[in-house]
Amino acid sequence: MKAMTRQTFIAGLALAGLTLTAGAGFAQNAPKIGAAAPAFSVVDADGKPQKLSDFAGKTVILEWTNHDCPYVRKHYNSATMQNLQKDMTKDGVVWLSVISSPPGEQGYADGPQAKNLTKTRDAAPSNVLLDPKGAMGRAYHAQTTPHMYIINPQGTLVYAGAIDDKPSASASSLNGAKSYVRQAMTELKAGKPISEAATKSYGCAIKLAPTT
């Protein structure tokens, strides 16, 4: 692998349908379904502070994203992600796209770049959060892009995992895919228990900045 860069190797794994995951010690710290969602304090693409407590009383969807990831591109190039964002926010849900890639890693974007991505992709999140130090990513045990989380109006984590049941970077996999996020939101809105509250996320591995 001397002639292959680390990013090329990761991209190759992603295109092959493989996902890199964090170590077991990291997994032990993952937030629990039915427990309070981890607090966070980051800035958005405009440089304004954003905290989970700002959205008390509202349903919040977190979407970890990396615009260079083929799995993410599958959902954005097909408008699957944008349509989901628009449908959810129309119902009053707060949709927060989160970028945890640090400078120098695949998917990194500063504020202006993040705003441009939202515009050029016709994306419709409520806001884009920047997490280059990885604090929010670590708090939520975000491992892949995309990685989805749903927080109910009481601040409880009610869903964590994949966007759908087709772990592939191929656009054709969208045919007949079951959207775990839509299913969870339908059940939540109806006051029903979420039938599949924890699923295995898939996508490109998130490379968080080293802790200091």
Is residue 153 domain-resident? Answer: yes
Kindly state whether residue 141 falls inside one of the protein's structural domains. yes
- DSSP E strand stretches across 39-93: 41-44, 49-51, 60-64
Q: Is residue 27 part of a domain?
A: no
* CATH number of the domain encompassing residue 185: 3.40.30.10
Q: What is d(CA 9, CA 211) in angstroms, rounded to the nearest whole number?
A: 24
In a domain, 117, yes or no: yes
Nearest to 160 by CA among 180, 178, 177: 180
pLDDT in tens, 51-65: 999 999 999 999 999
CB 178 within 8 A of CB 164: yes
Quick one: pLDDT at residue 29?
73
d(CA 93, CA 84) in angstroms, rounded, equals: 11
Compute the distance between CA of residue 9 and CA of residue 25 in angstroms, rounded to an integer: 24
In a domain, 29, yes or no: no
Range of the domain at 198: 6-20+54-205
Residue 160 lies in a domain: yes
Which of 124, 149, 125 lies closest to 136 in space, CA to CA?
149
80-90 and 180-189 helices, crossing angle to 10°: 10
Model-wide pTM > 0.85: yes
Q: What does the pLDDT read at residue 187?
A: 98
- Does 210 reside within a domain? no
For residue 178, which of 192, 150, 199 has the smallest C-alpha distance? Answer: 199
pLDDT score, position 89: 98
Beta strands 60-64 and 94-99: pairing type?
Answer: parallel
> Which pLDDT belongs to residue 28?
59
Give me the residues of the chain with pLDDT under 70, please.
Answer: 1-28
Do residues 195 and 165 make contact, with C-beta atoms less than 8 angstroms apart? no
What's the number of domains the chain is made of?
1
Q: Is residue 46 part of a domain?
A: no
